[in-house]
Amino acid sequence: EDQVTQSPEALRLQEGESSSLNCSYTVSGLRGLFWYRQDPGKGPEFLFTLYSAGEEKEKERLKATLTKKESFLHITAPKPEDSATYLCAVSLDTGRRALTFGSGTRLQVQP
Amino acid sequence: GAGVSQSPSNKVTEKGKDVELRCDPISGHTALYWYRQSLGQGLEFLIYFQGNSAPDKSGLPSDRFSAERTGGSVSTLTIQRTQQEDSAVYLCASSLVGIQYFGPGTRLLVL
């Protein structure tokens, strides 16, 4: 069964304290891996998509990496405005276009 | 440009009533998705439309759920005879190639 697991469930950081969020996946065939950010009461906001092992993408304080079994979202020197839930999702090469989501990591960055 | 819009933003209904949720995708996007996000759970795929092809209904939880997409644009998700377990945030997304862009969601509460 295709599965996406995110850890930790929740993470509290001090402003400037770098850390990483993990997304491990067990799927029959990966087409792409997506990271989204979701603020309370809003829909997910697209951050990155990764397609092959070794690929990296960066945007401001965020950097996403991909291996054959997992992806990491590295947050460097976070700020309070980075507080949100970060969602990982995969699309499969079966032709099905729907995303399979993990349950998310709730990040809180304290000033 | 305009993003995905959904209406209503909030809906409170009584058990047994029917509800209709609307999604306006990004102009030009050929694919449209409905997901459900229950409290404390990840996003769950419901249904997918791609152009004029038959929709992928594999995620609909019961025959009380249905959706249509008119003119390749606006979509309506209908839940008949609502139950309390239908309470959730219903999210719509659209895409042209690969990346899914989400709307703000409709928060449904069934009393």
Question: What is the rounded radius of gyration, in angstroms, for the C-alpha atoms of chain B?
Answer: 13
Closest-CA distance, A49 to chain B, in angstroms, reads 8
Q: What is the pLDDT of residue A70?
A: 96
Query: Distance between CA atoms of A1 and A93, rounded to whole angstroms?
Result: 14
What does the pLDDT look like over B28-71, one tens digit per residue?
999 999 999 998 778 999 999 998 889 999 999 999 999 999 88
Which residues between 53 and 82 in chain B have a beta carbon less than 8 angstroms from any beta carbon of chain A? 56, 58-59
Name the one residue in this structure whose structure tokens are 């965020």. Answer: A62
Query: Which segment of B15-29, B30-44, B81-95 scores lowest on mean pLDDT?
Result: B30-44
Interchain CB distance below 8 Å, A42 and B104: yes
Flag whether pLDDT at A11 surpasses 70.
yes
Q: What value does the CA radius of gyration of chain A take, rounded to a whole number of Å? A: 14
Q: Which residues of B touch A30 (CB under 8 A)?
A: none
Question: What is the average pLDDT across A9-25?
Answer: 97
In chain A, the percentage of residues whose pLDDT exceeds 70 is 100
Query: How many angstroms separate the Cα of A62 from the Cα of each of A28, A72, A79, B34, B91?
Result: 28, 10, 11, 28, 25
A&B contacts, CB < 8 Å: 58
Q: Which residues of B touch A4 (CB under 8 A)?
A: 42
For residue A41, is pLDDT > 70? yes
Q: Extract the tokens encoding B87.
A: 């309470």
